[in-house]
A and B are shown apart, each in its own frame.
Chain A
Amino acid sequence: MARHFDSELKGLKDGLLSMAGMAERMIDLTRRALLERNSALVDEVNVLDEKLDEMELRLDQLCIDLLALRAPIAADLRLIASAIKIIPEVERIGDHCGNICRRAKMLNDQPPILNGDYLERLASETQGMVRRAVDAFVTSDASLARAVISDDDKVDNLYQAIYRELLKLMLSDPLCIERASHLILVIKNWERIADQATNIAEEVLFILEGRSAKHTYLQERN
């Protein structure tokens, strides 16, 4: 039996996908602004960030309305409860892109201090995680969601490696401390975007399987 509620849930899913699409576009622009040293792209990121904020407010309201008026249960409830958690994750991705762009603008005006390969690898791993997390949501693919969660270690290791490089640079040449400080925050923002992708993947698993995929070490301990 087709339900009116199904079309409302589809509206929520479409809204989430639209947000995620915007976030992916922002990630792409941010990556290019940083790696191609193209500050002209920053403005577009800022415009998209505002749109993402608007979408967040709209979808938050939709979720509250669906909870209040449709009293969802079972899979419907899990979708809405998880959407409430996924929406701010996607919005945060936009914020991190904005932060990276702000620092990219400053860095682009000065000579580079770090091998571009490092940032390229971090950005591309992170971008891939976000894309796969969104794909897992769209295609209801639990194994893809699990792969995203395990990929987070890869990004964490990259972050650690670059962080150490930057510390070494700062210790060896005090003149690059300011740029290195900006870059530390830039890589932290990339690393946080990967965390956001992980959180989204965990919510996808909850929607599909009805069990929390967070803090699995606690379940293992019990």
Chain B
Amino acid sequence: MDPETHLPLPEPVVLGGGRDEALPAVQPLEGKPASLPLTDTAALVAPPALEVERLNLWYGAKQALFDIDLQVRKNTVMSLIGPSGCGKSTLLRSLNRMNDLVDSVRIEGSVRLGSEDLYAPGVDVIELRKRMGMVFQKSNPFPKSIFENVAYGLRVQGEKDRLTLEEAVETSLKGAGLWEEVKDRLKESALGLSGGQQQRLCIARALAVRPEVLLMDEPCSALDPIATARVEELIFELKKEFTIVIVTHSMQQAARVSDFTAFFWLGKVVETDLTEKIFTNPTNRMTEDYITGRFG
């Protein structure tokens, strides 16, 4: 206290009683850290489902990913954001070894799904991809019936039992939030569905083989706002059973659907944190500039 401005205090005049000491103490809110009211607390303590360590990737002589370290926790949604060409989709395709299909690609580092190193010699890539469903930017239903689209993965695996297939198709379509809309026309061509329905059909197709992780590469970029909202609601539901990694160019989508966000730039991870933190108070200046549209 500044003695210059402090008046000499006269003796206090007490009128009546003081504070009521019998008032019960206020209990702090339990369950969530007070500073992150929207963060799913379970996400903070979930064990890792997918771990990327020092991943480097080259297309020929050109390096596209640099020392990527990333951990995706079980039953959470991780958004990968960043400008075009920053390596988000390249990383996504490295997670289920789709980049193996590119001739000039060279990869170093490790990606672990549970305890298994996906790039260890002798890994059965087909088996691996069953554990990692993928949904692409543009819906790509096969020119077959709705039923056959969803049953396709199981048939490829050799499943022939009609009842098993029917059950799997129904469960998957329900999981993708499409069952009520198509249950009476399962034999009709999938190409007759709307864009949003086709994308949810592709999600159902991915779910049918019961993957552990769902990789989504801009799954809503070709959808209208209503279809987008449905897919986003679906993502929220799906994370109860699956771990989801989503590449998106929509900041609002990343903010709405994901628990964690990783910001990529020029093939590097600039910042990874809780989505709530990234979108309210990012640590890195570059992240701030990108998400607020000041980049470049």
**Interface residues in chain A, defined as those with a beta carbon under 8 Å from any beta carbon in chain B:** 1, 3, 5, 71-78, 118, 121, 125, 153-154, 157-158, 160-162, 164-165, 167-168, 171, 210-212, 218, 222
Roughly how many angstroms separate A121 CA and B2 CA in the complex, as a whole number? 12
In contact, A171 and B13 (Cβ under 8 angstroms): yes
In contact, B5 and A210 (Cβ under 8 angstroms): no
A118's contact among B7, B15, B255, B295, by CB below 8 Å, is which? Answer: B7
* Cβ contacts under 8 Å, A74 to chain B: 279-282, 288, 291-292
In contact, B10 and A168 (Cβ under 8 angstroms): yes
Given contact pairs A74-B288, A157-B1, A161-B7, A1 touches B296 in the complex (Cβ within 8 A)? yes
B35 at the interface (CB under 8 A from A): yes
Roughly how many angstroms separate A211 CA and B296 CA in the complex, as a whole number? 28
In contact, B279 and A212 (Cβ under 8 angstroms): no
A156 vs chain B, min Cβ distance (A):
10
Cβ-closest 8 pairs across A and B? A210-B281, A161-B7, A167-B13, A73-B279, A164-B10, A1-B296, A74-B288, A74-B292
Kindly supply a per-residue 1/0 record for chain B positions 189-214, scoring 1 wherever the CB is within 8 Å of any chain A CB and 0 otherwise.
00000000000000000000000000
Roughly how many angstroms separate A121 CA and B4 CA in the complex, as a whole number? 10
Roughly how many angstroms separate A1 CA and B294 CA in the complex, as a whole number? 5
Given contact pairs A167-B15, A168-B13, A5 touches B293 in the complex (Cβ within 8 A)? yes
In contact, B280 and A121 (Cβ under 8 angstroms): no
- Assuming A73-B291, A75-B288, A168-B13, what are 8 further A-B pairs, CB within 8 angstroms? A71-B252, A74-B281, A78-B281, A118-B7, A154-B2, A164-B12, A164-B13, A167-B15
Roughly how many angstroms separate A5 CA and B280 CA in the complex, as a whole number? 17
B71 vs chain A, min Cβ distance (A):
23
Roughly how many angstroms separate A146 CA and B280 CA in the complex, as a whole number? 22
* Cβ contacts under 8 Å, A154 to chain B: 1-2, 5-6
Most buried by B among A73, A164, A210: A73
* Cβ contacts under 8 Å, B294 to chain A: 1, 3
Interface residues of B in 22-55 (CB under 8 A from A): 28, 34-35
B107 at the interface (CB under 8 A from A): no
* Cβ contacts under 8 Å, B28 to chain A: 218, 222
B251 at the interface (CB under 8 A from A): yes
* Cβ contacts under 8 Å, B11 to chain A: 164
Given contact pairs A73-B251, A76-B292, A167-B15, A162 touches B279 in the complex (Cβ within 8 A)? no
Closest residue of chain B to A222 (Cβ to Cβ) is: B28
B102 at the interface (CB under 8 A from A): no
In contact, A73 and B296 (Cβ under 8 angstroms): no
In contact, A211 and B255 (Cβ under 8 angstroms): no
In contact, B255 and A158 (Cβ under 8 angstroms): no
* Cβ contacts under 8 Å, A121 to chain B: 5, 7
* Cβ contacts under 8 Å, B295 to chain A: 1
* Cβ contacts under 8 Å, B15 to chain A: 167
Pairs across A and B, CB under 8 Å, 10 listed? A1-B295, A74-B280, A74-B291, A75-B292, A78-B281, A121-B5, A154-B1, A161-B9, A164-B9, A218-B34
B103 vs chain A, min Cβ distance (A):
37
In contact, A157 and B6 (Cβ under 8 angstroms): yes
Roughly how many angstroms separate A210 CA and B2 CA in the complex, as a whole number? 30
